[in-house]
Structure 1
């Protein structure tokens, strides 16, 4: 059962992650355009801090930071938490990306970054995956896209 759940969870994490990192590198110096790299970094710090507080806190964080154009696509991860470690050296603009089945791109500046995702329940790691994730900076705030479990 746990092994099957891990496979389902890997698929769930993959809905927000892909293996291709598109675009051009953000300029060296750590800040990127208008400090947007710092906003992306803070997004992941806050996401992981919320995971440390438990599933309810992370669900609330993901609800608050779901991109405003895609709030109807938010998913409930139940009692799972995600710890996502970005490889910020891979951060690149991805202006052509749009969520699967979306007719329009999200407003704002879309970035793609390589990540390591650890899926946890009750303090135990169920699965780990390496992929990429999109974060959009809009009006000085970083937004993400909650991964949805597949059925």
Structure 2
């Protein structure tokens, strides 16, 4: 059991992108109300799917994976995540590329500070503050597999 918890805690660290500082200067994002609503809806759907179960959340994360990175998925081993963004930290991150990638994703890349809680069988396994990246592409919000460091 201790080994499973350790694996899940490592996964949690990966989910939050290791929580390191984000380079650059924070500036308020100039998003329309509709654009901001799309980001809020994305995270609401991620959390709702997690409440419905690991399989539902895994499917949603796969379906909303950025089209250029669809082959990059991860197995949360039956765990779910709950993501609580701090909306005042939302900003563009035009220079970001997923770890191990050289290419910047197509679309407008944003980063937001989040608190991520990893749950397994209705019990919180761990929680971490980090950052997650999302992209607005063709008027749709896409994310990245949590194990890509968000």
**Which of 10, 15, 26 is equivalent to 2:29?**
26
**Which residue in the other structure is 1:39 paired with?**
38
**For residues 9-52 of structure 1, what are the alpha-carbon distances to aligned partners after superposition, in whole Å with 9 as ceiling and x for unaligned?**
3322134864427452213xxxx147322111111000000001
Preserved contact between residue 17 and residue 131 of structure 2 (Cα < 8 Å): no
Q: TM-score, normalised by structure 2?
A: 0.87
Q: TM-score, normalised by structure 1?
A: 0.87
Evaluate the alpha carbon distance shift between residue 149 and residue 35 of structure 1 in structure 2; reply closer, same or farther with a 3 A threshold: closer
RMSD across aligned positions (CA):
2.2
Tell me whether 136-145 or 34-43 shows the greater mean CA deviation.
34-43
Which structure: greater strand fraction?
A: 1
In structure 1, the residue corresponding to 2:88 is in which secondary structure? strand
**Number of residue-to-residue matches in the alignment:** 146
What are the equivalent positions in structure 2 for 1:107-118 lying under 5 Å apart?
Answer: 107-118=106-117
**Which residue in the other structure is 1:12 paired with?**
14
Preserved contact between residue 10 and residue 127 of structure 1 (Cα < 8 Å): yes
**Which residue in the other structure is 1:131 paired with?**
130
Evaluate the alpha carbon distance shift between residue 18 and residue 107 of structure 1 in structure 2; reply closer, same or farther with a 3 A threshold: farther
Note the C-alpha offset of 1:74.
1.4
User: Matches of 1:149 and 1:71 in 2, distance apart?
Assistant: 12
Runs (5+) with no aligned partner, structure 1: none
